[in-house]
Chain A
Amino acid sequence: MTVIINWMDTISANKNNSHFDDPDYPLLTPSVVILPYARDKSARKKTTSTITRTQIKPFYDDRYKTFRLNGLKQITCGSTKHRIWIGTLYPKFNPKHEGHIARLEFKIKRELVQYLQQDKCLTVEQKQKYLRVGYTLVEVFGKTIFNTMLGETNE
């Protein structure tokens, strides 16, 4: 449940972010994604900056200007990012091919759909907006892992 809350918090923070409007999101970079306040202390960024230290640790490595990770170990089971962004949705996540990433994306998307369906406060338009932003984030997440996986294979 916590994992989906983290996703929902991030979606909520970015629901009016115009960088998510373009269907193929060419303008979307780590610097324009708004990171929400992390509810769980252990999910916060490890930084000395007082401005960003309460923010959630993103699924990408924010030392880079593009969406990428330093290595797959940063997202496979046992890692902090795995606990924050994947957790019980895919407990033994250790991608070997694109299918594993597609499966992970599907599981998160389905969880978002089911979570929003239970919400009685949002209008249909608001739900659609949340889903659109959510799907973009999930796809960027998948692409980040895929590119990291390919990078490791090529090395």
Chain B
Amino acid sequence: MSRLDAIIAMHAKDYSPPKKDRVVPYWGFYPRRQRKITMPTLRKDVKSRPGFYKNPLNDFKHKLNQSARLWADYNDYEWSDRLRTSFGKLWQKLFDSEGNLRFTCEAIDTEHKNLLAWNLEWQGPGQAPFTETDDGTLIKAFPSIVVLLLDNIVEDIDGRNEHYREATKLVKDDEFMVNHPFILCAVNIDSAYFGQDRVHNIVSPILDTMRIALDLEIYDLPVEKTQHY
């Protein structure tokens, strides 16, 4: 758009300034080769390791290191000193002076056994990172509620939607899975926007963090919603 066109469009109220791309992978890489598991295996895992899912950010540095190695492996890179140092420098800025993460993650008590949820809040110091919604709008990634569905078939009969209903109540959105129909979803709970404009899309610091923390390939488990009339 030329300068003149932009001025005309601005007067016609049909102008939006070009967006700057500020969303880059938060941890310096996009998690690859996470655990590819089936829904029954995931349910079994949640049952056998409740502590792991209660505090997913426990021992996060180790998990981050492992994920970075998997990423390097996926891209046929050697896990060299140079790569380790460059990641180390980047990650140093993402932890505070005491080596803690700049955000907290608290498990939310859910009523339904097929639903796990966490509340993630930014502690700082520094400004909370951004994430992108489906239409390209930038929103702050924190504070957010993350839900993990442990039944990826949502049916309107036989009570197979109760976990989904509880999730919609937590994130205060009925259709939060339209743009992100996978088992792990993150929704900003303090945004001026509504509906789909609060749902995280990739690249999202929260989705990446949770994928690393849970070591879970979420895109292998799409949610299927079926309606019966």
Which residues of A line the B interface, CB within 8 A? 23-24, 96-99, 101-103, 106, 109-110, 113-114, 117, 131, 135, 143, 146-147
The answer to whether A106 and B201 touch across the interface, beta carbons within 8 angstroms, is yes
A-B contact pairs, 14 of them (CB 8 A): A98-B29, A98-B30, A99-B25, A99-B202, A101-B30, A103-B201, A106-B202, A110-B181, A113-B181, A113-B182, A114-B181, A117-B225, A146-B75, A147-B75
Nearest CB of B to A75, in Å: 18
Question: Considering the complex of A and B, which 8 residue pairs feature the smallest CB-CB distances, nearest first?
Answer: A99-B203, A102-B30, A113-B222, A106-B202, A99-B24, A99-B25, A98-B30, A97-B24
Instruction: Choose from A97, A103, A135, A147 the contact partner of B220 (Cβ within 8 Å).
Output: A135
Which residues of B line the A interface, CB within 8 A? 21, 23-25, 29-30, 33, 36, 74-75, 132, 179-182, 201-203, 219-220, 222, 224-225
Nearest CB of B to A10, in Å: 19
Nearest CB of A to B202, in Å: 5
What residue of chain A has the Cβ atom nearest to residue B226's Cβ?
Answer: A117
Question: B203 contacts which chain A residues (CB < 8 A)?
Answer: 99, 102-103
The answer to whether A23 and B36 touch across the interface, beta carbons within 8 angstroms, is yes
Nearest CB of A to B13, in Å: 23
Question: A117 contacts which chain B residues (CB < 8 A)?
Answer: 181, 222, 224-225
Given contacts A97-B25, A110-B181, A135-B220, contact A103 B75 (CB under 8 A): no
The answer to whether A131 and B25 touch across the interface, beta carbons within 8 angstroms, is no
The CA of A146 and the CA of B132, in the complex, are separated in Å by 21
Question: B30 contacts which chain A residues (CB < 8 A)?
Answer: 98-99, 101-102
Question: B36 contacts which chain A residues (CB < 8 A)?
Answer: 23
The CA of A33 and the CA of B24, in the complex, are separated in Å by 32
Given contacts A96-B21, A99-B30, contact A106 B224 (CB under 8 A): no
The answer to whether B224 and A99 touch across the interface, beta carbons within 8 angstroms, is no
Q: Which of A99, A101, A146 has the most CB of B within 10 A?
A: A99
What residue of chain A has the Cβ atom nearest to residue B30's Cβ?
Answer: A102
What residue of chain A has the Cβ atom nearest to residue B38's Cβ?
Answer: A128
Nearest CB of B to A141, in Å: 14
Nearest CB of A to B37, in Å: 12
The CA of A117 and the CA of B33, in the complex, are separated in Å by 25
Nearest CB of B to A145, in Å: 12
What residue of chain B has the Cβ atom nearest to residue A147's Cβ?
Answer: B75
